[in-house]
Amino acid sequence: MVGASIDASGFLLAAGGLLTTSKPGSLLVPASLFVHYRELQSLHSIFKD
C-alpha cells in the first residue's frame, strides 16, 4: 500500500517536472510534490524497519 503511494507520487513528481519545463516559473507545484514525496519516503522507511 505504502509502496504504491510512493510510486504514484513519483509519477506525479515527474508530471510536475514536465509542467515546469513547459511553464517556466511555476516551481511551486513540483516543489510541494517533492516535499510530499520525501514525507512518503520517510514513512516507507518507518514501515520497513
Number of domains the chain is built from: 1
For the chain, the first-to-last Cα distance in angstroms comes to 16
User: Model confidence at 34, in pLDDT bands (50, 70, 90)?
Assistant: confident
E strand or H helix that includes residue 11: helix 2-22
**Parent domain of 30:** 2-48
Global pTM value: 0.32
pLDDT, tens digit (0-9, with 9 covering 90-100), for 4-28: 665 677 777 677 666 555 555 555 6
DSSP at 23 = S
Instruction: State yes or no: pLDDT of 42 exceeds 80.
Output: yes
Residues 30, 13: Cα–Cα separation, whole Å: 6
Sign of the Cα pseudo-torsion (32, 37, 41, 44, in order): positive
